[in-house]
Amino acid sequence: MEKRSLANELAGTSAVVLEDQIDLLNYRRDASVCAAGDPAAVVLVSSADEIVRVVKAAREADQPIYLRGAGSTYAGGANPTRGGVVIDVSPMNRIVEIDRGRGLVVVEPGVTYGELLAVLGRDGLTVGIVPLTGASGTIGGAIASHGLGTGSPKYQSTGDEVAGLEVILPDGELLRTGSAALAGAGFFHRYAIGPDLTGLFLGANGTLGVITKLALWVHPLPPHQETLTLGFSDYAAGARFTARAQLHEMFRNVWYGAGYEDKAVAARVSTARPDLDGNSMPGFCLGLDLRGDPREVAADRLRLIDQASRFAGGEFAPFDEIFFSKLRRDFSFWYGYAGYFSRSMCALLMTSMPTETSPRFFALVDRMRALHSDFVWAGGTVLCRRGVHGAVIMFYDEQHQWPAAQAAASAACAELLAIGCVPYKVGKMWAPLMDRFGTYYQALRTLKRSFDPKSLFCPDNLAL
């Protein structure tokens, strides 16, 4: 893009335009294994108006636009693979309104979950879903790329907690979704008027518009937290227990749940507790983070242990003491994963599946381990209200293995589809496989052509 056109469009605003090579280095990629891009410029924006101006300049110059918050996601959505301009929304970090009457908070996309939780916490409130990278992760980034984490067993997906959006469309028009479509009405009901347009932008990785405001439901901050780890003989027993507990709403006070491989359990427990018999380790552990009224939590705890016993499972305290309870109180929770992050990079393939599929998912992780032994593989599940997310984690040495790691991760994506795991975070990681989704993908392409005929918004994401 002509330097002058961006500068002219943004004259008199507080936007910061970065074009020095050194300033662009951090905008080439996100945390994924995906290929990096090479942007021509970065604009740090502070308002929706500034975004409209950048969009106008980009449209006139036929240059693509990519969007970025913290750049901490694992699917390549922020990577500017076709160059162009990166819009960094992190300076749009105002908490616009906490509306207690309507039970929601309106934020700009650059607000981090850490900041929002701090502010809401003072009022005894919280939001439903907080990604594992929440201290630094932006709300806009999480919503645009299908975040998950704390709150998923109770509220399912980040998208389910969105009451409405304000979005700048590729033609520069401002769209407000749900009840806010009526001028002056504001956000209070997502499913208003007609079809749910909010959903078009959730997990869309910026391909259909730039989110400039988000309304999220708020909830009372639970007064009490404790953890419980259940152990089962194998994945199948764990899956049967989980499905039953989900159906009967036994996870009503569970804010986070994670399923751990036998290898992960054995490695951690046997290192810390060599006195324990290695043969008595569970084949699968489900760590649960319970929050709520202390009496309700205590009752749920007993009920869950009792229910687990019907599937030949039970409480497995050593793993909870050694690992799970500590991690649930640590703000660097995710990055503490077995210490691997300090030695290597991580490719993360995030999927969704019905609970019954999880044994096959763990078997696939074992298969990947055997097929691609140059990398360290791990698998884990994150509990949802219904179904689970499955995370295939592959650690690699980026200095020497990056292209090989990309190939191995792509192979794993194809294998995951074959066993019925569907991608949750698509970005560019799963883009080559989008044609596997048939008419869904065709409909998405039709929408893209209608919204963004020049394909300027985040091209390559979701293969759009």
Partner 1 sequence: MATATVKGSFLAAARQFTENLYHCSRCNYCVEASWEEKGLRHVCPTLVNHSPALSYSGKGYLATARALADGEELSAATVADRVFACTTCGNCEEACPIGLRPAQLAKAMRADLVDHGLAPDRVLEIASNIASTGNPDGLPGAERYAWASGLQTDSGSGPEFLYLPGCAACYGKPAEARATVALLTAAGVRVAMLAADRDRCCGAPLFETGQLAAGRRQGIELLEAIRDSGLSAVLTSGAECLESLRHHYSQHLQADEAVAAMHPLELLADRISTHRLKLVARKDSPPPAAVAMLDSCHLSKKGHGGLAETGYPRLARTILAALGCRVVPDESAARFALCCGAAGGMSQIHPDSARRMALGKLESLRELGAGAIVSASPLCASHLERSRDGGTTPVYGLCEFIMAHFEARG
Query: Which residues are at the interface with partner 1 (CB under 8 A)?
Result: 16, 18, 20-23, 25-27, 29-31, 44, 70-72, 90-91, 112, 114-115, 117-118, 121, 133, 135-137, 331-332, 334-336, 341-346, 397-399
Question: Nearest approach, Cβ of 280 to partner 1 (angstroms)?
Answer: 32
Give 344 or 455: the residue with its C-beta nearer to partner 1.
344
Per DSSP, the residues of 125-177 read EEES-EETTTTT-BHHHHHHTT--EETHHHH--GGGGEEEEEEE-TTS-EEE-
Query: What distance in Å separates the CA atoms of residue 108 and residue 97, rounded to the nearest whole number?
Result: 10
Give 23 or 366: the residue with its C-beta nearer to partner 1.
23
219: β partners: 126
Give 106 or 346: the residue with its C-beta nearer to partner 1.
346
Query: What distance in Å separates the CA atoms of residue 368 and residue 267, rounded to the nearest whole number?
Result: 19
Name the one residue in this structure whose structure tokens are 């290898």. Answer: 263
Query: What distance in Å separates the CA atoms of residue 307 and residue 245, rounded to the nearest whole number?
Result: 8
Question: Nearest approach, Cβ of 335 to partner 1 (angstroms)?
Answer: 4
Give 131 or 390: the residue with its C-beta nearer to partner 1.
131
Contacts of 35 (CB under 8 A, 6+ apart): 29, 76, 79, 81, 406, 428
Selection from 402, 419, 403, 436 nearest residue 368 by Cα: 419
Give 133 or 410: the residue with its C-beta nearer to partner 1.
133
Q: Which helix (H) or strand (E) holds 226?
A: strand 225-232
Question: Nearest approach, Cβ of 81 to partner 1 (angstroms)?
Answer: 16
Give 118 or 411: the residue with its C-beta nearer to partner 1.
118
Name the one residue in this structure whose structure tokens are 């500590």. Answer: 326
Contact 66, 84 (CB under 8 A): yes
Question: Nearest approach, Cβ of 45 to partner 1 (angstroms)?
Answer: 11
Question: Nearest approach, Cβ of 125 to partner 1 (angstroms)?
Answer: 13
Question: Nearest approach, Cβ of 111 to partner 1 (angstroms)?
Answer: 10
Question: Nearest approach, Cβ of 339 to partner 1 (angstroms)?
Answer: 8
Q: Which pair of structure tokens corresponds to residue 127? A: 């939001």
Question: Nearest approach, Cβ of 132 to partner 1 (angstroms)?
Answer: 10
Computed over its alpha carbons, how large is the radius of gyration of the chain? 22
Strands 85-88 and 65-68: parallel
The residue type of 67 is: L
Name the one residue in this structure whose structure tokens are 């704390």. Answer: 150
Give 15 or 464: the residue with its C-beta nearer to partner 1.
15
Q: Which pair of structure tokens corresponds to residue 399? A: 């200095």
Question: Nearest approach, Cβ of 414 to partner 1 (angstroms)?
Answer: 25
Contact 269, 237 (CB under 8 A): no
Give 1 or 24: the residue with its C-beta nearer to partner 1.
24
Helices and strands per DSSP (H, E), number in the chain: 15, 20
Query: What distance in Å separates the CA atoms of residue 145 and residue 110, rounded to the nearest whole number?
Result: 14
Question: Nearest approach, Cβ of 340 to partner 1 (angstroms)?
Answer: 9
Selection from 459, 392, 391, 464 nearest residue 434 by Cα: 464
Give 335 or 441: the residue with its C-beta nearer to partner 1.
335
Question: Nearest approach, Cβ of 69 to partner 1 (angstroms)?
Answer: 9
User: How far lies 155's CA from each of 217, 226, 231, 232, 371, in Å?
Assistant: 11, 19, 24, 25, 36
Question: Nearest approach, Cβ of 258 to partner 1 (angstroms)?
Answer: 17
Q: How many CB atoms sit inside 10 A of residue 438's CB?
A: 9
Q: How many residues does the chain have?
A: 464
Give 227 or 355: the residue with its C-beta nearer to partner 1.
227
Give 96 or 169: the residue with its C-beta nearer to partner 1.
96
Give 148 or 250: the residue with its C-beta nearer to partner 1.
148
Selection from 212, 200, 216 nearest residue 67 by Cα: 212
